[in-house]
Amino acid sequence: MIELTGKKIAVVDDTDSILMLFTALLEAHKGTAITFNSGRTFLQQVQEISPDLILLDIQMPDLDGYKVLAQLKNLPATASTPVVALTAHAMSGDKEHILEQGFSGYIAKPVDTRAFPNQIASFLAG
């Protein structure tokens, strides 16, 4: 079983059910989930929480994931933190576009709950 002990993972998504699911999955593997339902709120608090990994929804009403990522890359505290896109965009070319924008990785929604812990562990390993 994958263990995420001591790892703080920020989950930024405007859908409460996604936040609850990811929290449950991360905590089941002894990780700490810190959730935000707004990109703007997350950016206001990210330097205080200093996450090991950021899971970031692409489509949010206040700031989309691309705008949040651009700001994260300009903050010394998060410039090297892996940021993984969460998106329902799973069409041909979407993954490539997301990676070209500077995301460290990509997880399609709906998420495969069996593969999710291994995906998270691989992003944390670099």
In a domain, 115, yes or no: yes
Range of the domain at 73: 8-125
pLDDT tens by residue, 26-69: 999 999 999 999 999 999 999 999 999 999 999 999 999 999 99
Structural domain total, the chain: 1
Alpha-carbon span 23 to 90, nearest angstrom: 23
In a domain, 45, yes or no: yes
Has residue 88 got a pLDDT over 90? no
In a domain, 108, yes or no: yes
Cα separations (Å) of 100 from 94, 95, 104?
Answer: 10, 9, 9
In a domain, 53, yes or no: yes
In a domain, 75, yes or no: yes
pTM over 0.85: yes
CATH of the domain at 86: 3.40.50.2300
Residue 29 in contact with residue 2, Cβ under 8 Å? yes
pLDDT at 95: 86
In a domain, 23, yes or no: yes
Q: What is the mean pLDDT of residues 13-37?
A: 96
Q: If you search the block for the tokens 């709906």, which residue do you land on?
A: 110
Q: What is the mean pLDDT of residues 80-102?
A: 88
pLDDT at 90: 66
